[in-house]
Structure 1
Amino acid sequence: MSDDFPLGLLFGLLAVLILLSAFFSSSETGMMSINRYRLSHRANGGERRAQRVLRLLARPDRLIGVILIGNNLVNNLAAAIATVLAIHFFGEVSGPAIAPLVLTIVILIFAEVTPKTYAAIKPERIAYPASMALEPLLKLLYPLVWLTNAISNGLLRLAGVKQIDGGTDNLTRDELRTIVHEAGTLIPQRHQAMLLSILDLENVTVNDIMVPRHEIVGIDLEDDLESILAQIRTSQHTRIPVYKGDINNIIGMLHLRNAARFLAKAEVTKAAIVQEAREPYFIPESTPLHTQLLNFQKQKRRIGIVVDEYGDVEGLVTLEDILEEIVGEFTTDVAGMHQEIHLQDDGSYLIEGTANIREINKSLGWQLPTDGPKTLNGLILEHLESFPDGPACLQVGTTRMEILQVRDKLITSARCWQHARRPARRR
């Protein structure tokens, strides 16, 4: 055969076949390594080459079939030509043994490792141009591809694989969180925090962020009228709950904008206050934040009363409280945000017992457990398993606590610091 064909032509054909083998190898890696979500985004934007790649990836069995058929065909042809050349140069005895060894090394370097590595690093540079050749090639070789896939898919079904197409590539919440983390500088740090906060809304209930019952500022209709009017005029809140005698007996929510209607009158009565109050909106304490955010939107509300399973008032939650879980506090002044947390000169913090644990963690970057008690007082009592008679010390995770003041069966203040950062000894 070498006498019929010039050696230069045989070497040229062998080089072309090795290049074709590199094309098929890199195409397989590039197609399978390309970012599916970026690809879908570009395809939805009307990019034709992305749409072409998506069409091929919709049936990976056919795509792999046409690539492997082409790759095996050119490799077998290359092996035949390499054998002819080896026989010409090394004889009929040594040539057939030398050809596979040399060709394997050449294909491994130039048609496998190098192109596949490049395709794995730069999949888009390979997948987009390769799709222009693979799509018509698939149509040309479709009968052979169909026959090969029919046998292969039958074997896969016997092995328990039911779905042959590309699937939906749906992401779980944890996977999406990982993608946000790995976005790096592509997404600003603050935007990453907001996206992660949205993903975490489902794990937080209104009970975790509500204003506790003892901190609710409301209008008690059993107070004298002058005190009520003075409270309305000096209130720092836009909406105030109106109750009678006990906070569990809430009659309505008074918007101070509506209060102007009766404050302008010469004679104000409690009945006029009740008339301007809107019917209260009650929320179960276990409602997840993402659900409550939608409920606020549907009900056209901005504030709700949180109740337990017995209907007793547990606290109060506002739309702003939920939004702060997503975008962060609306002020950067920690002292202004959390008047229950006070930084000490020695690096420790004087924290009131009523402070919310989640707020402590957010403000100080600590990792106190939040799956149990909601306040520092409850957390300390849970770990002590008894009510302290006086000052005591304990450690919760990496946080050390020193109980400073106890009053009326309530831990009113504690000195806290991280174990790694021990405060200076007080003299």
Structure 2
Amino acid sequence: MDAISTSALLFFLFILILISAYFSGSETAMMTLNRYRLRHLASNNHKGALRASKLLERPDRLIGLILIGNNLVNILASAIATIIGIRLWGDVGVAIATGALTLVVLIFAEVTPKTIAALHPERIAFPSSFLLRGLLIVLLPLVKTVNLITSGFLRLFGVRSVTTQDALSQEELRTVVHEAGALIPQRHQDMLISILDLEKVTVEDIMVPRSEIYAININDDFKSINKQVFLSPNTRVLLYRDNIDDAVGFVHLRDALRLQSKEQFSKSSLLRAVKELYFIPEGTPLNVQLTNFQQNKEKIGIVVDEYGDIQGLVTLSDILEEIVGDFTTSMAPAASEDVNIQQDGSYLIDATVNIRELNKEMDWQFPTDGPKTLNGLILEYVEDIPPPNTSMRLAGYPVEVIDVADNMVKTVRVIPEQYEPPAT
């Protein structure tokens, strides 16, 4: 080193600091790349993404390469700085060189390049991957040796090298969707979240209750049957004999109209047009039922309990509405058939309303892990059938019973302005 001038050593030291900055920035950039965006770019044959993706297939080798290069450069820089310090200031120059080099390396070879790389990982990682790939080919034997020794020491301490997968859990995916911001329209975000929530919702949560199923007793007078068929609000009508548990099947209005046009409309022809019933066990998650509908090529099913008794009716459209929203009705409170806003700011609500639907419509927080209707929630709370004018606080909402009939609460008043979050 005596033959090399101090100015040459300073220049060489400057180059080494730049190389150290390169390794530091490359490490941060490669490790902070968005893996899913990287895969997308690689699938579109982006050259930089392809190189980076190939390097990240073995992160242990990549990190080993970068650390070998960075440590070699920093050690060499330290030696050169020490020589320069001794030449300029004698023995005290060692301390001066150590302090000065530490500050320079910290600012210009660590913090600054790593900060830039963290903010713009693709701009740093893709170009640097070209040089890293070449260095890895040259230094591969050394990198393998270092990794082998490191793995040996890890095994001594009971640590096993495990390759982590980039798969996202549902909760992580939910967070990704929420944080997408303007990249995904709010409407699409809601649909994606609804798809993720399908497994948390069962068919009982969305079914048409047994008491509200539009069904026709096939043993009624034929004129009455004829009238009920063509007044049906649904395209498929359930037929039964005397008791709805003795269901016969569904008839499509299209088939009934075809029979009428051919003047063949009778009880017997109507029964021949009936489609076989498709039964759904209660408790079936919506994601499972959606798959079952698809596999069985069905669009409507009867929900039955463990005893085979009919509990309700579910259609494919009901499940799709859980994802995309209601096809026909407005979600505005004032337009709801079950919810009517009053001048004082309170709401008169049909107590047979489904709690989940009410929560979605009004953005309320009534519990959904118990009874499915507001009437059921009230009966569970008071453990009796409350008389009119009974007041209570359900899940923090002031609720007043307005009308009771047929052993059930018919109408209630809810005052959301006086909502108080329940104590935890």
Q: Same fold (TM over 0.5)?
A: yes
Give the aligned partner of residue 5 of structure 2: 6
How far the C-alpha of 1:49 sits from its partner, in A, is 1.5
Q: Relative to structure 2, which stretch is displaced further, 60-69 or 228-237?
A: 228-237
Alignment counterpart, residue 160 of structure 2, candidates 159, 162, 165: 162
Alignment partner, residue 86 of structure 2: 87
- The question of 1:98 aligning with 2:96 is answered yes
Task: Name the structure 1 match of 2:57.
Answer: 58
User: Using a 3 Å threshold, how does the CA distance of structure 1 residues 291 and 337 change in structure 2: closer, same or farther?
Assistant: farther
The one of 128, 132, 139 aligned to 2:137? 139
User: 1:200-349 maps to which residues of 2 (within 5 A)?
Assistant: 200-266=197-263, 268-331=265-328, 333-334=330-331, 338-349=336-347
| More off after superposition, 374-383 vs 342-351 | 342-351
Q: Residues 398 and 418 of structure 2 are in contact (CA less than 8 Å); yes or no, is this contact kept in structure 1?
A: no
Aligned-partner Cα distance in 2 for 1:336–1:276: 41
Q: CA deviation at 1:77?
A: 1.0
Tell me, in whole angstroms, the C-alpha distance in 1 between the residues paired with 2:52 and 2:121: 12
TM (norm. structure 2) is: 0.95
SS in 1 for 2:415: strand
Q: Quick check: 1:61–1:164 contact (8 Å CA) kept in 2? A: no
Determine helix, strand or coil for the equivalent of 1:317.
strand
CA RMSD in angstroms comes to: 1.6
1:192 equivalent in alignment to 2:194: no
Q: 1:210 and 1:371, CA in 2 relative to 1: closer, same or farther beyond 3 A?
A: same
Is 1:388 aligned to residue 424 of structure 2?
Answer: no
Question: How far apart are residue 347 of structure 1 and its match?
Answer: 1.6
Q: Mean Cα displacement is larger for which, 387-396 or 242-251? A: 387-396
Residue 341 of structure 1 deviates from its aligned partner by: 1.6
Distance apart, 1:416 and its partner CA: 0.8
Superposed displacement of residue 253, structure 1: 0.3
Q: Report what 1:171 is aligned to.
A: 168
Whether contact under 8 Å (1:398, 1:419) holds in the other structure is no
Q: Deviations over 1:237-284 (max 9, x none)?
A: 100001010111110100011112322344642111111111111111
User: 3-state DSSP class of the match of 1:141?
Assistant: helix
Q: CA offsets, 1:270-323, max 9 Å, x none? A: 111111111111111111111111111111111111111111111111111000
Q: CA deviation at 1:96?
A: 1.5
Once residues 264 and 169 of structure 2 are traced to their aligned partners in structure 1, the CA distance between those partners, rounded to angstroms, is 61
What is residue 15 of structure 2 aligned with on the other side?
16
Indicate the SS of the match to 2:77.
Answer: helix
Pair 385,327 (structure 1): closer, same or farther in 2 beyond 3 Å: same
How far 1:397 moved relative to its partner?
1.9
Question: Structure 1, unaligned stretches of length 5 or more?
Answer: 423-427
Aligned partner letter, 2:142: L
Q: Deviations over 1:212-255 (max 9, x none)?
A: 11110011112110011011122221000010101111101000
2:35 counterpart residue number: 36
The 2-side partners of 1:270 and 1:338 are apart by: 38
Structure 2: runs of 5+ lacking an equivalent: none
After TM superposition, give the deviation of residue 161 of structure 1 in Å: 3.5
Q: Which whole-Å CA distance do the structure 2 matches of 1:389 and 1:234 have between them? A: 36
Question: What amino acid is the match of 2:381?
Answer: H
Deviation at 1:163, TM superposition (A): 3.6
Which residue of 2 is the match for residue 425 of structure 1?
A: none
8 Å Cα contact 2:237-2:251 kept in structure 1 = yes
| Whole-angstrom distance in 1 between the partners of 2:355 and 2:95 | 75
For the residues of structure 2 that align with 1:354 and 1:181, how far apart are their CA atoms? 33
Residue 65 and residue 113 in structure 1: after superposition, are their counterparts in 2 closer, same or farther (change >3 A)?
same
Q: Is the 8 A contact 2:345 2:417 kept in 1?
A: no
Structure 2 CA distance for aligned equivalents of residues 202 and 158 of structure 1: 44
How many equivalent pairs are there?
419
Distance (whole Å) between structure 2 residues aligned to residue 358 and residue 18 of structure 1: 62
Q: Which amino acid aligns with 1:86?
A: G
